[in-house]
Structure formats: structure tokens, C-alpha cells
Chains A and B, each alone.
Chain A
Amino acid sequence: MKNIVKLAVVASAAALCLVACAKKEQPKTDPTVENAPIEAAPVQQAAPNADSLAAEQARLEAERLAAERARLEAERARLEALINQIMSEDVYFDFDRSELTEKAKELLAQVGELLIKEERFTITIEGHTDARGTEDYNFTLGAKRAMKVKEFLAAYGIDGKRMESVSYGKEAPKVEGVTEEAYSQNRRANFRVNIKE
């Protein structure tokens, strides 16, 4: 249990970092991938001219390690991107309601697909309400919202053991303010993603 909590923290931290880095890095990586084969070709042709076989092997080994590193890096980036995507997929609700809207269901289907593909992911579903109403009732309302999301994902085929739900009531608004605009952003369920080893 403690491990999972630790992992969750790591995953959250990594994902947070990604929010900052992802946007800058992504445009750069794409051109490099395209350029790579062109540069690699002349190097390979030059290789047979070298006299030392050992040097050749070392070079290949280094290349292999670099490729492996790049692969792991890409995998990590891919998972982080996915976690980030799931964490940014907030599901919105109507006032004092916990039923899923059509839009919410579409979005949850995408999250469901991701969870089916990535079996190591476990999620915590957080239910929230807007600032109106009592603290007490809003806890129960947030809990109902989180539960509706959990039920949908369970019906989509996600094992219940991979999902945990919690209510924050009105205590953790996404947007401060007393306008309908702010309220509608805060009536939501969102996800925290953990990776199970």
C-alpha cells in the first residue's frame, strides 16, 4: 500500500514535470527522427573502411545502448503523455446532479481505452462540487459523481481493483470565483494516475 502511495507521488510529480517540459520538447524530437536515417547512412558506409573490429563492435554496442535508452525514454515520455492526458480529462456535471452527460461518456470512453491498453495504470477518481451549498452535502455529492465515473469505467471493462474513488466536496476548486463559469468548471470528476509495478 505504501509503495503504491509513493509511486503515485512519483507519477504525479513526473506528470507535473511533463506539463512543463512536454510542449517544448515535442516539436524538437520530430525533426530529429526524420533526420536520423539520412545521417546514419554515410556513417555505416564508412565503417567497413575502419581497421579495428573491436572498435566496430564497441561502436555498435554504444549505438545499441543509445537506441535502448532512446526507446526507454520514448516509452517513458509516452506513458507520461498518457498519464497527463488522463489527468487532464475532467468530466463535468450539472448543478446538484451526478448523472454523466453524453460528452462526459465520450470522454470516459477514451479514458477507458487508455486504461485497457495500459494495464499497469491504476486510478483515483476525485469527485468535486462547486462552491454553492454546504460542506457536508457537497461531500456526498462529490462522492456520487466519482462513483458514477467509476461505474462507467467498470462497465467499460476496467477492473474495480484498479480504481479508487474519493470526494473532495467543494474543498478543491479548479477555478476560484462565484460566477457560473467558475461553478461549471468546478463541478467535475478528475483522475490521479498511479503505475503499478
Chain B
Amino acid sequence: MIFLKNKTNFMNSMMVRMVAFALAVALLPAASYATIDTIAVDVGISVFKTMPIGVVPFTENKSIDWIEEKPHQIVTRDAELSGRFDVVASDKFNLPLFSKAHAKHYVTGKVTPVGKMLKVECFLYVAQTKDLLLGETYTVEQKDLRRAMHQFFDQVIFRLWGERGVASTKLAYVSKIDGVKQVVISDYDGFHRSQITRDTTISMMPVWMKGNAGLYYVNFKTHRPKLYSKMFGGSEKSVFPQLDQTYSPAVNPKTGELLFSSTVDGKTDLYIGNPATGKAKKFAYLKSNQTSPAWSPYASEVMFTSDRGGGPQIFVMGKDGSDLRRVTFMGRYNERASWSPEGDRIAYTSMDNGHMNIYTCALDGSDIVQLTNNAGNNEHPTWSPDGKLIAFASNRSGSYQIYIMRKDGSNVTRITNSGENTSPTWSFFYDDIKQQKKEGE
């Protein structure tokens, strides 16, 4: 029986690999020659190869009264945050500079005021030949320029890497507003923040619905932690009200099902449920308490935290409950695993000497890399959907704020500035349809 199961798992993983390989091959012809340089980028966690790219200020056809950042400034920030590029800044096209820095491409454009709007033409060129690789035009109000540039930048990433970028994605997190924790969302770079819950009781633990149509989160309005759902622009609904003390939600990336914790009489178990039908059942029958579930990218396996060793440690098992094994062995407190979208590593939080820090490790718990160190508490890591970045909360500045770093721990950038912000979770890709069209070309 066990052998059979293993064989099935093996077959499944073979299938996944073959599909992935087929996809990679299919994408190759669409990508530019530069892709060949970048195909072996992620050979190891500590080797984070980036692609140099030139960025030239957009020409302005009339004088423009800039209230927001200019287009090339937004592109520069997206490039730096993306974990994929090194920006080679230049006032104008400068081939010697670009060549020296190995920037084979550069981005520039043209801005023309049209009434109250701005017509923004964005171009991606090959430096040596000045061949146009990509051109996009957006006509937007100045306040919407940032989002337009994010869209353009995701196109640049797709053209040069053959992969989806995350410049158009969002984060959900918890923000203390007038002393009460509320759920908010913002663009991945911290801009365009909007408040989702407006309760007098604590809201927390937001996660994204499949397709980014809304959020699941926990609220205390019944004096107990309970899961709720809210579609953006819709009203709040109680999810699985039949179960007591529900929290720690994790959305199945394939089916949209919800895996979560429920505590009954002091015992915490994992449950799996379909929010559409409201039906839920116990996911695993274990003696220990289990929380913090996390799906593998293809939703075939589940990681979670169990206290069966006394303190919290991370375990993994198949979606059918088979093949339970322990992942973390170092230290006494390893919690809240988050599976990288590339599938090869997990990020988690570990406590040592009373401080929380973020680590990653391979799926079998080996090859541990500490990403944060000596900077207050760092917790709640969440992967960007392209697997290049990790967002987390840290109180290194005195108050808890949201930060983004590359998956090797470098390039830490703060994206929130005021109040207290915790528990970020990254959305799924936002531009699925558009990118799928591109992929079909």
C-alpha cells in the first residue's frame, strides 16, 4: 500500500516536472535572446543574479506639473524591488555606459499632456541596435500613472524573462487604526492603500481568495476568533459558522478551498472546507494541536505547525493525510511555514532568545538560511507569486511595519511608514488573463 502511494507521488511529481519543462520550452521562442543569459539565474538561494537594465527619463512634450513621481522614477523603483534587475540610470541614451554595465536593454518613453490626462508612451529598447522590443501607451490621470507604469513594467519582465512579474500585485495586511486592528490592502509597493474592515473589534489574518476577488480574515465580534469573507465592494459573511474558534486560513491555490484551524475544548485541529457550500470537515486526526497550514504550489501537499514536540515545529503531509514527516529540527520554535511558489523552499519564522527571525530551508529541512538578523523582530513571511520576493513585518524601526526583501534576504525595503502594520499576505497574480493571452501568442 505504502509503495503504491509512493509510486503515485513519484508519478505525480514526474508529471509536474514534465509539464514545467514543456512550459519552459514553449516560452523560449517568445522570449528575447536575453533570456538565454537569465535561464540559469536561480542556481542557489544565496546567488541572486540580476539583469542590468538602463532607465532613461521620459521626454516631456510640454511642461508638466508633476505631483506624483515621474514615469522613470516609478520604473526604477519597480525594477529595484523586483529582485530581477540592476538599474543603470542615465539622463539620456548612453551606449558606452550601458555597455560597460552590461545593460543590454533600456526603458524610456514620452509623456504628452492631453487635457487633464497624460498620454504616456513607454518603450523597451535593445541598447546595441535600438530595436524596439515593446511599446505600450497609457492615457491616464496623473494619480493613476503609478498603476499604469506597474502594468508596463510587468510587460517588460515578461518580455525579458518569459515570466510574470509582480508589479501589479497587492498586499493585504493588518493595520492598527484608532487603536483597533483592521484589515487593509495596498499595491505591492505600499501605495493606494484602502481599508477593508471597519469594526470596533479586532480583524486579523487576512488571506486572498483565489482570483483576488476578496479576502478571508478573522474577527472577534462574537468574543471568539471567527473566519469571515468579504468580496471587494461586497458585504461581510461568516464562513463555517458551525465551527468554534476558526482562524489561520490558507487558500488552496488550485481549488479555492480553505484550510484552517478550529479550536474545540482547547484542542486545535486543521479543517478543510468549501466556502461556497459552507461545508467543512476535519483534515487530519492527530493527537497534537495543529495550526498555520500552507499549501504547496500545486496543492498536493500541506505544511503546518504541530506542538507534538512541546513547542511549535513544522511538519508536512500529503493532501490525503499520507506521508507525515517533520521538517524543522533546529531550535525550539519554528512556525508559520510558507511554501515558495517555485516549490523548492519554505520560508518560516523562528524564535531565538525571544526574538523572531525569518529563515528559509529546503523541503526536507536542510540547507537552512537565516534571512533576517539583529534587527528587532521579523515575522510573518509571505512569498510574492513569482517567488522572487518575501514580504514580512518587522519592528526594527521601533514600530511594526511591512518590508519587502529578495528571497536571499538582500535589498530590504520598507513599504509602510506610519502607525503599526503587521501580518502581510501577498495576492495571487493580478494579470492572469492578459498574460495568458501573451503566453498563447
Residues of chain A having any CB pair with chain B under 8 Å:
96, 124, 132-137, 139-140, 143-144, 146-148, 150, 165-169, 171
Contact = CB atoms under 8 A, between A and B. Distances in A.
Nearest to A139: B247
A9 to B, nearest CB: 10
A133 B331 CA distance: 14
A165 B248 CA distance: 19
A29 B405 CA distance: 65
B336 A140 contact: no
Given A134-B335, A165-B265, 14 more contacts: A132-B356, A136-B248, A136-B292, A137-B292, A137-B312, A139-B245, A139-B248, A139-B291, A140-B268, A140-B289, A143-B245, A143-B263, A144-B289, A171-B204
B173 to A, nearest CB: 12
A169 B181 CA distance: 14
17 contacts: A133-B351, A134-B292, A134-B356, A135-B423, A136-B248, A137-B312, A137-B336, A139-B247, A143-B245, A143-B263, A143-B268, A146-B266, A150-B266, A166-B224, A166-B245, A167-B245, A169-B225
Most buried by B among A140, A146, A165: A140
Contacts of B261: 136, 139-140
Interface string B378-408: 0110000000000000000000000000000
A134 B312 CA distance: 10
A139 B268 contact: yes
Given A150-B266, A165-B265, A137 B247 contact: no
A168 B220 CA distance: 9
B120 interface: no
B307 interface: yes
A13 to B, nearest CB: 15
Chain B at the A interface: SS class = strand
B85 to A, nearest CB: 33
Nearest to B223: A166
Contacts of A171: 181, 202, 204, 220
A73 to B, nearest CB: 30
A150 B268 CA distance: 16
Give 5 closest A-B pairs by Cβ, nearest first. Answer: A147-B266, A136-B292, A140-B268, A143-B263, A136-B248
Contacts of B379: 134
A150 B310 CA distance: 20
Contacts of B354: 132
B245 A134 contact: no
Given A96-B311, A143-B263, A171-B202, A136 B291 contact: yes
A151 to B, nearest CB: 8
A165 to B, nearest CB: 6
A137 B263 contact: no
A169 B292 CA distance: 14
A136 B225 contact: no
Nearest to B306: A140
Contacts of A147: 265-267
Nearest to B423: A135
B82 interface: no
Interface in B264-281: 265-268
Interface in B194-221: 202, 204-205, 220
B386 to A, nearest CB: 25
Interface string B219-231: 0100111000000
A144 to B, nearest CB: 6
A189 to B, nearest CB: 11
A48 B345 CA distance: 97
Contacts of A144: 266, 289
A139 B263 contact: yes
Contacts of A166: 223-224, 245
A148 B332 CA distance: 22
A134 B202 contact: no
B421 interface: no
B372 interface: no
Interface in B344-358: 349, 351, 354, 356
B305 interface: yes
B263 A140 contact: yes
A62 B335 CA distance: 68
A136 B225 CA distance: 11
A169 B225 CA distance: 9
A124 B245 CA distance: 14
A169 B205 CA distance: 13
B333 interface: yes
A133 B291 contact: no
B263 A167 contact: yes
A137 B305 contact: yes
Contacts of B223: 124, 166
B333 A96 contact: yes
Interface in B302-327: 305, 307, 310-312
Contacts of B181: 171
